[in-house]
Amino acid sequence: MPQSLRRAREFLHANAEEPLELTQLAAAAGVGVRALQLGFQRHFGTSISEMLRDIRLAHLNIRLTAACPDDNITDIAFELGFTHLSRMASAYRAKFGETPSATLRRMH
């Protein structure tokens, strides 16, 4: 895997809770935006935004499994960088087989 893609992936993991600026990600990787987009498709089989969503979903799952029963899923989701709650919930269900609230209930 090219070093630039490794740097980009590490940047996404380290900054997943922040809004994504493709130019900032490309600068961190040391390549242009289009080269970065093509590299993600070629080497990871996914888009940058899909990888970022999956990272955020994994963080959400970790937070929900460690949360208190009265923690607010909406607050946690916004802290993790999600901006569309219905899309987040649909993606979470597709990835983990249950809704975020079901994960929270199941853990307590």
* Closest to 60 measured CA to CA, from 85, 25, 27: 85
91/53 Cα distance (integer angstroms): 8
This prediction's pTM: 0.91
pLDDT in tens, 46-90: 999 999 999 999 999 999 999 987 899 999 999 999 999 999 999
14/36 Cα distance (integer angstroms): 17
pLDDT in tens, 13-58: 999 999 989 999 999 999 999 999 999 999 999 999 999 999 999 9
Q: With residue 10 as reference, give the H or E element that holds it.
A: helix 3-14
Domain ranges of the chain: 3-45, 51-106
Angle between helices 85-96 and 48-66 (to 10 degrees): 80
